[in-house]
Chains A and B, each alone.
Chain A
Amino acid sequence: MSAAAPHPTSSNAHLSILRFSTAGSVDDGKSTLIGRLLHDSGNVYEDHLAALEANAKKAGSTRVSLALLTDGLKAEREQGITIDVAYRYFATPRRRFILADSPGHVQYTRNMATGASTVDLTIILVDARTGVIEQTKRHAFIAALLGVPRIVLAVNKMDLADYSQDRFDEIVADFTEFSAKLGVREIKFIPVSALEGDNVVERSGKMPWYGGETVLEHLESVYIAGDQNLVDFRFPVQYVLNPTQDFRGYAGTVSSGVIRAGEEVVVLPSMKRSTVKAIVVPGREMRGEKRQEASSRDAIVIQLSDQLDISRGDMIVRPKNVPRATTQFDAMMVWLGDTPMDTATRYIIRHSTREAKALISNIDYRIDIHTLGRIEAAPLVPNEIGRVSMSTTTPLFLDPYQKNRATGNFILIDPVTFLTVSAGMVIDRGRSDAPGVDQGEETDHNLHHEAALVTTAEREARIGRKAVTIWMTGLSGSGKSTLAKAVERTLFNDQLPVFFLDGDNLRTGLNKGLGFTREDRSENLRRAAEVAKLMNQAGVTVICAFISPYAEERKRCRQIVGEERFLEVHVSAPIEVCEKRDPHGLYAKARKGEIKNFTGVSDPYEVPEDPALRIDTSTASLERSVEEVVALALSRSAL
């Protein structure tokens, strides 16, 4: 494809946005990769390309340097390195992209952190010849620290490594071993040559051993909707709107969760309760659309039924799901300032829309950015990372960063220069000293995840089989549980460690307290998938039976469990048959309106498009159905 190809930022207005960043050292070819991505996807304007061609001519070269496409300021061009985060925008017919191009130079940890703070994915480049080096690890560490959910390791310059599969595999193994400690949710490896264009946009003919996606294909298809925290409703009040005597509203952006008119809320720090009288979503309302519901990232105005004294920096939440209100907390911190941290300074802390004065009361340890090990505590110097304890003058309303990226972050501002000197990520430790709910157990920071001495591979070798998760989805009454139990029995008789994970059973224990709202059902499934994953890691094959009506939710479960272990089985029977069976009389109640949001009656069931197996229990016998599922399980669990 050339630059003259139709510019594809066409009718892409319906597309979701993927934010990603790139990291790599000066020589890894990062600028070339980005240039190649833009050029080959037809996102370079002709006049920009013409300027490059003129440049190349001046330098006596025939080859346009794609790296120059992303090159920023004049001063940097002269120095030949990028020194600040630059944002690029491009689109394909499938997605819109915002790229935070972070420089990888040693002294610019802060730029990487800045770039990583808002992205859904980070591309880290390694040179196929040098492989995983200190800097690669550093980049991955910072991405993990900033909570980036997924990493793409682009193994670049494959052309200079003879397009060797062995070399690629070696680098994959190296990075996999290192990254196990980081706790990044997804890691994808792609062998590329940015210079030659292999596997960037177009598939390469030179690496037939690699059957996977190109960089662009991956960026276009990676699933990110599940990243949103839809469970914990958090609304930091940003601005109070009081235009007329009879209108008082609280303007702000929903940090996480979902809220509807009529719901009960509590306001922090006063702990006063009220109900949501109305939700104004001005974006929609001015277009004439009314919707009394808002979720994560929506910019809205909330009106409450009661006259309360509420101002900027307060937070509106649900009574039974309250963040920690505290003046003492721990955090991981990246020092961004040009001068070192000072433990005697009262910094200004900004958390969501709230401000306070803060002291760094203790420094636990610093991270050696080279070895990523802990080193003795000392005030952080520019570009250093460490763990600290903070003490603030007024309570902040905090969630652990790992649990809620939006309400677990903060910055420190120097009280004299007003420069932003630090970025922090809250760690869940310490007690609530204000009314609210203590979130309990500590969530360890990324790096403290212990790598076990027994690996899943060893367990599977002993058992002689790989554990899989058979995820049965279908309408209520389709026969999921009956089938699941029979399959469990059969596999058990075959000496396989197997467990039937039943939705109702989970709800009496682990998932006690979860209701049947969309968020609660979503959380119910997420936990089920996490349990299945753990059991799989322990070597146990799991059979799950959940209605799980939404394709997106099932996709998320698939991602949690892992693509290679997740076997989707659609237990299908026509709804008339299911309704006739109606073992618990639920359809009858739903038809009468006694049960709301009942799948198949008043809520949709999204039929799986491409399940591993589809079984119609209205035509197939139980024996035949069990045979099919067992055969699938055995074939996919073979080592």
Chain B
Amino acid sequence: MHLPTNLEQLEAESIFIMREVAAQFERPVLMYSVGKDSSVLLRLAQKAFYPGKIPFTALHVDTAYKFPEMYEFRDRMATELGLNLIVHRNEAALRDDANPYSLGTQRCCALLKTGALLEALAKHEFDAAIGGARREEERSRAKERVFSFRDKHGQWDPRSQRPELWNLYNGKLAKGESMRVFPLSNWTEQDIWNYILVEQIPIVPLYYAQKRKVVVRGNMLVPVMGSDRRTYEGQNVDEVLCRFRSLGCYHCTGAVRSDADTLEKIVAEMTQVKTSERATRIIDFDTDGSMELKKREGYF
């Protein structure tokens, strides 16, 4: 299938950014979150260095609460693409049984995601971390740079961001500072799906509709994990034909009713969608502006 004009433009832009990272940094890492955006990110990294190999280490910051399908998929991709994959967890927090039920989602995220990420970046001395975030995803991301500067503590300050003109990305760093880089900045959710379809990029099966055990809570379908009693105890469990629009931890990710069980159907469904994709992320409901708070602390 031929790639449409706008995707060709976005693809070329992302490839340019990937190559800038490889050229400008000593120890870059590609953040692999196993989701659909990560899948696109991997494909673009392959293309940027084709016919060579992806020159980045891949890092999965694991909260230990991901869906089993995600772990399976991650390991399969790592093998197929010959990735140098590092998995990092905040073991200390997990030993103390960090979970959203007792800590609240914000605190849990701060420990298992933000904390673990900063730990991993420091441990391996990565100076640039490539992520799959898109500006369209969330309001506070609309102002995010492609090269997003983090101070020695991994923190983001909207006022210390460097102006980005044309395609001149300034990746200069002092010791201890780092850069987050977002090659998908200008992509929309729609673009991601169209690209996955045209390129036939493998994605986690959770994106496809099938009957799943869930707890129905208003519009939200909360997934039930057999291995984790907290997800269903004392609640009505239903079998619903549904799929996931975005993936995170099973505690905090809602499914949506859908019968889209092929890529074509997903793309068709996306054209009808009337809510933003983060509406299915339970984590964002904490407080108004919660994403911004997390970002200031160093969340991806």
Contacts and interface: CB of A to CB of B under 8 A. Distances in A.
A581 to B, nearest CB: 39
Given A96-B6, A283-B11, A348-B172, A253 B16 contact: yes
Nearest to A237: B23
A312 B166 contact: no
A46 B275 CA distance: 5
B20 A243 contact: no
A626 to B, nearest CB: 43
A604 to B, nearest CB: 19
Interface string B136-174: 100110110000000000000010011111111010111
A461 B3 CA distance: 53
A469 interface: no
Interface residues of B, number: 66
Interface stretch (B32-40, B45-53, B72-80, B254-262): B45-53
A550 B299 CA distance: 51
Nearest to B11: A283
A87 B4 contact: no
A410 B168 contact: yes
Interface string B62-87: 00000000000000000000000000
Contact of A418 (B50, B174, B198): B174
Nearest to B8: A283
A535 interface: no
Interface string A118-158: 10000000000000000000000000000000000000000
Contact of B11 (A242, A299, A411): A299
B190 A238 contact: no
Contacts of B249: none
A45 B271 CA distance: 12
A47 B218 CA distance: 14
Contacts of A419: 162
A420 B16 contact: no
A1 interface: no
B292 interface: yes
B166 A118 contact: yes
B12 A297 contact: yes
Interface stretch (A9-17, A257-265, A360-368, A563-571): A9-17
A149 to B, nearest CB: 15
A89 B136 CA distance: 6
Interface string B227-238: 000000000000
Contact of B1 (A283, A287, A297): A287
Contacts of A6: 271-272
Contact of B6 (A4, A16, A113, A239): A16
A252 B172 CA distance: 20
B50 A282 contact: yes
A14 B4 contact: yes
A9 B190 contact: yes
B178 to A, nearest CB: 12
Interface in A372-420: 405-406, 409-411, 413, 418-420
| Interface hub of A17, A88, A420 (most chain B Cβ within 10 A) | A420
Given A287-B3, A299-B15, A110 B163 contact: yes
B51 A247 contact: yes
A529 interface: no
B274 interface: yes
A239 B170 contact: no
B9 A17 contact: yes
Nearest to B219: A47
B52 A73 contact: no
| Interface hub of A101, A285, A286 (most chain B Cβ within 10 A) | A286
Interface residues of A, number: 76
A241 B52 contact: yes
Contacts of A280: 50-51
A114 B15 contact: no
A283 B275 contact: no
Contact of B190 (A84, A91, A285, A405): A91
Contacts of A47: 275-276, 279
A560 interface: no
Given A238-B20, A253-B12, A287 B199 contact: yes
A370 interface: no
B185 interface: yes
Given A15-B6, A283-B47, A287-B1, A238 B23 contact: yes
B172 A9 contact: no
Interface in B265-283: 267, 270-276, 279
A219 interface: no
B19 interface: yes
Contacts of B22: 239
B5 interface: yes
Contacts of B273: 7
Contacts of B170: 350, 411, 413, 418, 420
Contacts of B46: 286
A496 interface: no
A545 to B, nearest CB: 33
B17 to A, nearest CB: 10
B2 interface: yes
Contacts of A286: 46-47, 50, 199
Closest 6 CB pairs of A and B: A243-B52, A10-B271, A418-B172, A299-B15, A282-B50, A74-B289
28 contacts: A3-B274, A13-B7, A13-B198, A14-B6, A15-B6, A16-B5, A45-B274, A46-B275, A47-B276, A48-B276, A72-B139, A72-B143, A73-B143, A85-B143, A87-B185, A88-B136, A91-B188, A96-B6, A98-B186, A117-B165, A241-B51, A251-B19, A253-B167, A282-B47, A284-B3, A406-B166, A409-B168, A423-B163
Given A72-B139, A117-B165, A251-B49, 20 more contacts: A10-B271, A11-B271, A12-B190, A13-B198, A14-B5, A71-B139, A72-B140, A73-B292, A74-B292, A84-B158, A85-B143, A241-B51, A283-B15, A286-B50, A286-B199, A287-B1, A297-B12, A299-B11, A299-B15, A411-B170
